[in-house]
Amino acid sequence: MNIHQLVNSNIMSKEKIAIIGLGYVGLPLARLFATKYSVVGFDINEKRISELQQGKDVTLEIEDSVLKAVLKDNADSSNGLYCSSNIDDIKDCNYYVVTVPTPIDKNNRPDLTPLYKSSETVGKVLKKGDVVIYESTVFPGATEDECIPVLEKVSGLTYNADFFAGYSPERINPGDKLHTVDKILKVTAGSTPEIGKKVDALYANIITAGTHLAPTIKVAEAAKVIENSQRDINIAFVNELAKIFNLMDIDTHAVLEAAGTKWNFLPFKPGLVGGHCIGVDPYYLAQKAQEVGYHPEIILAGRRVNDSMGQYVASEIIKLMVSNDIRIKEAKILNLGITFKENCPDVRNTKAVDVINQLKSYGTDVTIYDPWANPEEVKHEYNLDTLQKLPNQKFDAIILTVAHNEFLKEDFKSLLNPNGVLYDVKGILKDNVSGRL
């Protein structure tokens, strides 16, 4: 059977989609696909599956009522979403969409373990004519050089003869209820021109913002990885400006506001750059660049600046405390926020931890308050204790590291000891701050 026959005999049949990985990316995508297709959401985390089957999303990306509206009780062919940790439930799917995380290791090198493991899982159920689509952010070439060989080895099938591949990079913004997955234009690509059109049509059926069909998988991979690298470099620039202007006793935010009156000035702000995308993706591009013989100077320079900001913020706070005659050892400090960004519970690769650990290294006693973060998850990931209610006590210093909406409603000055320091990393507290980034 040739490619054309396979495409028309299987891919053009009733689509049944398996979403591999039901985290911040996979679940919103599965929910959206389930409005038009029969979908099986697969995840190895049985606790996660149990919660989803009850219609509860602890990531808060999908409202419980919206999730329950698409859930179904079995993996049959009718439209809707069935969540499972049983590989047998995805055997009769013909599209497999992989949405697992792509982290870095302690040396900032790409860790493709989740991709390898998920590819092995898909390989066990892969059939002739099936299409495997990867959404995880990777370096150019990773899909075809790293993932496809795993699929071939486990399945015994041949790439672009027996099965096909696609790539459509995720553009999820955790916690953003305005730019949801269906409202963000989707880049798509396929392993052949014909498969590219099929993959594009699949997404076009659910993405109201439209799609952009890239000519190759490598082009789509490269497009995604430079999106976050560009943002990382821009933030590094304003972080460096903040360091310069602080030495000159100039309000960085006032400078940016003034410069922003020009139509083509980009409105980036200084801050801690963490999370699973911006703080990670540039290392994927840098690693691949080095493999092909190019040392990326600007990309890595931006990463060095942004990775240093936790230490910088902590040192600025300590200087303010010293200038206010506050004894540093055993000083009581309240840190506001530990998630990687505002108004979401995601604590992956949060740089608030860098500030906290640096402050602890001075012998201070740091209390962490975050109404969004799951204390159990924070304890597991960072071995830190967090509170979800504001403590009723006095502190020598209070640091706002995450701009949760709840923090705009509190009078933190009332929690400070005499000469106490209030430091605003995010620049959202307008009055009575001792310092800001």
User: For residues 146 and 150, what is the distance between their CA atoms, to the nearest angstrom?
Assistant: 7
Would you call 277 a catalytic residue per the annotation? yes
- Both structure tokens of 28: 């919103």
71 phi and psi, to 5 degrees?
-70, 145
User: For residues 368 and 338, what is the distance between their CA atoms, to the nearest angstrom?
Assistant: 7
User: For residues 174 and 243, what is the distance between their CA atoms, to the nearest angstrom?
Assistant: 28
Three-class SS of the chain: CCHHHHHHHHHCCCCEEEEECCCCCHHHHHHHHCCCCEEEEECCCHHHHHHHHCCCCCCCCCCHHHHHHHECCCCCCCCEEEEECCHHHHCCCCEEEECCCCCECCCCCECCHHHHHHHHHHHHHCCCCCEEEECCCCCCCHHHHHHHHHHHHHHCCCECCCEEEEECCCCCCCCCCCCCHHHCCEEEEECCHHHHHHHHHHHHCCCCCCEEECCCHHHHHHHHHHHHHHHHHHHHHHHHHHHHHHHCCCCHHHHHHHHCCCCCCCCCCCCCCCCCCCCCHHHHHHHHHHHCCCCCHHHHHHHHHHHCHHHHHHHHHHHHHHHCCCCCCCCEEEEECCCCCCCCCCCCCCCHHHHHHHHHHCCCEEEEECCCCCHHHHHHHHCCCCECCCCCCCEEEEEECCCCHHHHHCCHHHHEEEEEEEEECCCCCCCCCCEEC
Residue of 83, 93, 147, 277 marked active site: 277
Catalytically active residues, by annotation:
277
